Structure 1
Amino acid sequence: MQDTIELNNISHHFNTSEERIELFHDLSHTIRAGETLAIVGPSGAGKSSLLSIAAGLETPASGSVRFIIDGDTVDALALRARSGFIFQQFHLMPELDAIGNLALPLRLKGNRNAFDIAANWLGKVGLKDRARHRPHQLSGGEQQRIAVARAFVSSPRFIFADEPTGNLDARTSESVSNLMFDCAAETGCALVIVTHSKRLALKAQNSLHLEAGRLEAAA
């Protein structure tokens, strides 16, 4: 059975001191392994919350989410263990160099080949010569390349990216977005991206538009 994430009639909201803000209602969608999917829509529509729910980081206010890996239904913790994450902020460890940042997820899982695998990924993202540079010695684009490689280094089934090019200039954004899609194609994992960039969204096989609490296939 194909690895999938099934969103079934999910609704979500958050509360302020004055009111409840309803984000979306009764959304259903299935994310499949190998798919590239962009989630687009206006600010405040709930795109990041939808991504967090799909990634098992949040629980919807109502409805259900089913995670299927290798034919078995698993919990959110098991899904997260097989997922990679890319954010607008790079979230690199400042005290570690580039190869150390890349090796860290593997080392935490007890992988004895962590640094060899990290070195291989540094080469794939074109930063082999930056292995011993710390984040403050790297450009924004280089830091995001490290962040992209870190997301893929553990051979995940799903990659979740929230505005991954939001802090980058147009030229660097194009380079980083191409890198993400190339890595997804090479590894066969699903890539789910929240983005304001129409150019980035068009790279995805499928695109969903979230607005006014509804989710529709983008034209």
Structure 2
Amino acid sequence: MTDTIELRDICHHFDAGRERIELFRGLSFTVRGHETVAIIGPSGAGKSSLLSIAAGLERPAGGTVCCTLDGASADAWALRARSGFIFQQFHLLPELDAIGNLALPLRLKGHLDAFAVAARWLERVGLKDRARHRPHQLSGGEQQRVAVARAFVTAPRFIFADEPTGNLDVQTAESVAALMFDCARETGCGLVIVTHSKPLAMRADKTWLLAAGRLEAAA
């Protein structure tokens, strides 16, 4: 049975001083496992908030988020435990080398073969020879490749990526984008990306435009 995340009649806002800013109201959409989805739209439209709500990281002001994993209903905690995350800032631990950054989430889950699995993923993203380099010894593109591998290393059901190529030059962004989509399709997990990049969004199976509080299929 396909894993799904379903957002129903979602409303969300934030308060700026005495003013309440409505991001969206009555918004609904579904993400399915094995599906790649891009969310585009202007700055301030609420794309990152929508991604956080879908990932179970943030509670909406209204509406419900329903998740199914392995054919059974799952709560936000279970969804987070089976998800991987990629951000614009790489968020690698500076005191750990590349393989240590990859092995850490596996070790936290009790995997005895954490470093072996991490090594295989480093090779998959083309950084086998950089395993013992710390983040400050890696280029931005290499750091994001480590971050991509870290997101996939625990065999998640869904990957959530927030502007994953925003800090990269055009050529590096293209290679990282290709890597993300290839890994998603190889592993069969769902991939949800928030991006300003049209070339990146065009890689997705579905592209949604979030603007003026509405979510519509992009042309």
Within a 5 Å distance, the mapping from 1:81-96 to structure 2 comes to 81-96=81-96
Q: How far does residue 2 in structure 1 lie from its aligned partner after superposition?
A: 1.2
* 1:149 counterpart SS class: helix
Alignment of 1:1-150 (within 5 A): 1-150=1-150
Q: Distance in 1 between matches of 2:203 and 2:154?
A: 24
* Distance (whole Å) between structure 2 residues aligned to residue 103 and residue 81 of structure 1: 16
Structure 1 residues 152-192: Cα deviation after superposition (integer angstroms, max 9, x where no partner): 00000000000000000000000000000000010000000
SS of residue in 2 equivalent to 1:111: coil
Partner of 1:169: 169
Question: What CA distance in whole angstroms lies between the structure 1 residues aligned with 2:58 and 2:93?
Answer: 24
1:73-125 Cα deviation digits (max 9, x unpaired): 11100000000000000000000000000000000001000000000000000
SS at match of 1:166: coil
> Take 1:166 and 1:207, find their aligned partners in 2: how far apart are those partners?
18
| 1:18 CA displacement | 2.5
Give the share of equivalent positions with the same residue, in percent: 75
In the alignment, the residues of structure 1 paired with residue 73 and residue 205 of structure 2 have an alpha-carbon distance, to the nearest angstrom, of 26
Aligned to 2:152: 152
* Inter-partner Cα distance in structure 2 for 1:136 and 1:112: 28
Q: Distance in 1 between matches of 2:21 and 2:34?
A: 34
The amino acid of 1:75's aligned partner reads D
- What is the letter of the counterpart of residue 85 of structure 2? F
Deviation at 1:16, TM superposition (A): 1.2
Alignment RMSD: 0.4
Task: Calculate the TM-score normalised by the size of structure 1.
Answer: 0.99
Structure 1's consecutive aligned runs of 4 or more residues displaced over 2 angstroms after TM superposition are none
SS at match of 1:65: strand
Which letter does structure 1 place at the counterpart of 2:55?
A: A
Q: In 2, Cα distance between the equivalents of 1:71 and 1:128?
A: 36
Q: Which SS does the other structure have where 1:64 is aligned?
A: strand
Query: In 2, Cα distance between the equivalents of 1:33 and 1:103?
Result: 25
List gaps (5 residues or longer) in structure 2.
none
Query: Counterparts of 2:39 and 2:166 in 1: how far apart (Å)?
Result: 14
The separation in 2 between residues aligned to 1:171 and 1:29, in whole angstroms, is 32
Alpha-carbon distance in structure 1 between the residues aligned to 2:171 and 2:71: 41
